[in-house]
Structure 1
Amino acid sequence: MNYFRKSIHEMSGYVPGEQPPLGIKIIKLNSNENPYPPSPKALKALQEIDGEMLRRYPDPTGKSFRMAASKVLGFPDDWIIAGNGSDDLLNLIVRAAGEAGKQIVCPAPTYVLYRTLAEIQDAKFVEVPYPDDYQLPVDLLIAAQGAVTFVASPNSPSGTAISVADLEKLAEELSGILVIDEAYVDFAENNALELTKKYSNVIVLRTLSKGYSLAGLRLGFAVANPALLAELNKVKDSYNVDALAYLVATSAIADQNYKTANAEKIKASLAKLAVSFKELGFDVWPSQTNFLLVRPPNGDAERIYQTLKVRGILIRYFNQPRLEDKLRITVGTEAQNQILVKTLKEIV
């Protein structure tokens, strides 16, 4: 007997990257985590926590974090909403705007959680194919006229950048909400924050998982017109972010120098890795993230993924159309990257 909605019973859930237990000796390059530790200021805040903070419910609006983010971004704090990771905010948006008979649209391939959230709401999910060079199919996305249109910028799993001009054209011509998912913005050359001031239908998402080395904390935030955020606040859980996350995130986002220094190290390592992959005969897509999408010389991506796993190196393989011959590889520390390249030379 099935006790759940037909759409839930028939859908496939989102499958995260493999997460081995702490302490296992492995080089983990499969989930786009930052290889460097979080800000010392963030760790200090965690170590000095007052027990009274845990006894009480957290601030439901995360005022202290929003004020810290406001100072960094140059936006009023009422233009900011926090979530339990940016995935929580994606969920809020789809719950508020998606329903049976409405379309949720995105270019593809991209972050597969967009599909999962649409299916949960029983909304129609429309994928507009990216061309091989991953230039945003702007006109086709406009033609789809989704209730919500998701664009990851830069995109995952390709790592490719999206021009602000293309995003602005979408904002101008879409009748629904345009969600610009900037999870990897700390490694990118440009961002689309200013579009939220110009267009009332634009939401820009950010996360502390990538640039700030806080994937385990689960803290994301969105920037949008307060009128738009007021509707999302009706949908969110009363206390969707815990007190510890707010405390650590507030210290982390204030330490911009530390975050930027680590991002620059990752960008330099990414450039070196791209050269090494090309020397091995891989096709490499241009990336403004902390990972690379590559195609092995013979397209035998699954074999390489499995062989690396046996040798203690985890990368990401997607067994789905247009990605089955490719691998997504996170930038690690210099030492980890060298081991990866050395092992690939033996395998390839």
Structure 2
Amino acid sequence: MNQYFRPNIAAMASYVPGEQPKPGTQFIKLNSNENPYPPSPAAVAALQNITAEALRRYPQPFADDFRQAVSQVLGVPKDWVIVGNGSDELLNVLIRACVEPGGKVVYPTPTYVLYKTLAQLQGANFVEIPYGIDYQLPLDELIAAQGAVTFIASPNSPSGHVVPQKYLRELAGKLSGILVIDEAYVDFATENALDLVREFDNVIVIRTLSKGYSLAGLRLGFAIAHPQILDGLYKVKDSYNVDAIACAIATVAIQDQDYKNACVEKIKLSRAWLQQELENLGFQVRDSQTNFLLAQPPLGNAAYLYQELKKQGILIRYFPQPQLDDKLRITVGTEEQNQQLVAAFRRLCDGKD
């Protein structure tokens, strides 16, 4: 069947998301970095108040209500905000708008694997530059590569580290193309790069409501950049890419900062507890500014532990690739979920399972 597809599509592998349990099965799901707490009660109420008229009509083409809410919450002009069907859609729009077939998409690795997939879809060349020791940004190599688009996830997945703003600033000033700072996990971090959007016209910051706001099922993300950048992206995005339900719920959710911040603080406390417990079992665990941990088992037997936990109804993430095949990425769950995970690890490390 491959004869029906463009050569680059036929040759590439599909993006593999975190495993989803089958309906009706009981799993502790700690593999997709979902927030373990429910969305804001105000957001749930907004869902219940969706009218038939809102469903009958096309939604706002630019999600204006949500853009206005972002403007108020983050202190950026409304016309500096673009909204997408999840931040993944905005990443796709950026590649399609800014990278010609055969052009270069550049990023440090390991990082979010969708960057590579999107480059392949476009028929672009992807340049993967390994992170340095302790995930030091390979600044000189990224600058030398001069990508049409350069992606930096900060905080990064799967490592959980934040790239200091001074390095991002230097990178932005020396790139001829677009610098995309993917801040999907920024709600759990101690710093962000929003100021760089005001300093540089080639910087775009991307965020999502999937993590901090517990709305992964809603599929809504947004980006902040100079309006001249957004004008080009609007030529590529679908006409009505954000549905009326998503816009209504997201608008209320992002305004409820007190609720979001309270959930984030609970996750940070649980993250610290879980890290300490794993280290007590002999794991090497990276400090994280996200809602997950990257942990190396004492025997390096990550694949075995992943499979054994799955048998016990606990899903975590294992990446069979260089730099990661001896590690596990573990989403921070509720206190009860974290305790069950640690108990299962303890049994496995003691050889009792």
TM-score bin, normalised by smaller chain: over 0.9
Return the alpha-carbon distance in structure 1 between the equivalents of residues 20 and 219 of structure 2. Answer: 15
CA distance in 2, matches of 1:38, 1:172: 38
* Equivalent residue letter for 1:196: V
Task: Please tell me whether residue 218 in structure 1 is matched to residue 219 in structure 2.
Answer: yes
Instruction: Report the CA distance between 1:24 and its aligned residue.
Output: 2.5
Q: Equivalent residue for 2:279?
A: 278
**Distance (whole Å) between structure 1 residues aligned to residue 288 and residue 235 of structure 2:** 37
Give the C-alpha shift of residue 136 in structure 1.
1.1
Alignment root-mean-square deviation, CA:
0.8
Which string of whole-angstrom CA distances, capped at 9 and with x for unpartnered residues, describes residues 65-87 of structure 1? 00011100000110000000000
Q: Which amino acid aligns with 1:277?
A: L
Equivalents in 1 of 2:149, 2:59: separation in Å? 30
Identical positions, percent: 64
Q: Per-residue deviation at 1:322?
A: 1.1
Give the counterpart letter for 1:270 in structure 2. R
Corresponding residue SS for 1:259:
helix
Which residue is 2:203 aligned to? Answer: 202
Cα deviation, 1:14-60, whole Å, max 9, x if unaligned, reads 00000114542210000000000000000000001111000000000
How many Å separate the matches in 1 of 2:38 and 2:82? 25
1:232-281 deviations in Å (ceiling 9; x for gaps) = 00000001111100010001000000000000100111011111111110
- Tell me whether 1:120 sits opposite 2:129 in the alignment: no
Structure 1 counterpart of 2:141: 140
Output aligned runs, 1:1-348, within 5 Å.
Answer: 1=1, 2-348=3-349
Within 2, Cα distance between the matches of 1:322 and 1:294? 12
What is the CA–CA distance in structure 2 between the aligned matches of 1:84 and 1:100, rounded to whole Å? 24
The letter for the 2-side match of 1:174 is L
How far apart in 2 are the matches of 1:37 and 1:225? 33
The amino acid across from 1:105 in the alignment is V
Q: Matches of 2:150 and 2:323 in 1, distance apart?
A: 21
Deviation at 1:99, TM superposition (A): 2.1
- SS at structure 1 position matched to 2:232: helix
How far apart, in 2, do the equivalents of 1:62 and 1:336 lie?
Answer: 36
Distance of 2:247 and 2:84 partners within structure 1: 10
**Structure 2 gap ranges (5+):** none
Shift of residue 102, structure 1, vs aligned partner: 1.1
Amino acid corresponding to residue 285 of structure 2 in structure 1: V
Instruction: Note the residue ranges of structure 1 that are not aligned, 5 or more in a row.
Output: none
Alpha-carbon distance between aligned partners in 1 of 2:272 and 2:23, rounded to the nearest angstrom? 29
TM-score (normalised: structure 1): 0.99
CA distance in 1, matches of 2:93, 2:347: 46
CA distance, structure 2, for counterparts of residue 14 and residue 197 of structure 1: 33
Alpha-carbon offset, residue 132 of structure 1: 3.5
| Distance in 2 separating the partners of 1:135 and 1:35 | 30
1:173, 1:315 → 2: CA distance? 38
Residues 108 and 17 (structure 1), Cα distance of their counterparts in 2 relative to 1, 3 Å cut: same
Distance in 2 of aligned mates of 1:298 and 1:275: 18
Distance 1:291 1:101 in 2: 35
SS in 1 for 2:194: coil
AA at the equivalent of 1:336 = Q
CA distance in 2, matches of 1:32, 1:132: 25
Task: Determine the C-alpha separation between the residues in 2 that align with 1:223 and 1:186.
Answer: 16
User: Could you tell me how far apart the structure 2 residues matched to 1:38 and 1:180 are?
Assistant: 25
Q: Distance in 2 between matches of 1:280 and 1:71?
A: 45
1-structure distance, mates of 2:69, 2:25: 36
**In structure 2, how many angstroms separate the alpha carbons of the residues matched to 1:118 and 1:5?**
14
CA distance in 1, matches of 2:15, 2:102: 22
DSSP 3-state at the match of 1:316:
coil
Counterpart of 2:81 in structure 1: which amino acid?
I
How far apart in 1 are the matches of 2:70 and 2:334?
A: 28
User: Scaled by the length of structure 2, what TM-score is found?
Assistant: 0.98
Aligned counterparts of 2:239 and 2:312: Cα–Cα separation in 1: 45
> Which letter maps to 1:176?
G
Distance in 2, matches of 1:116 and 1:316, equals 19
Q: Secondary structure at the match of 2:19?
A: coil
Counterpart-to-counterpart distance in 2, 1:139 and 1:71: 37
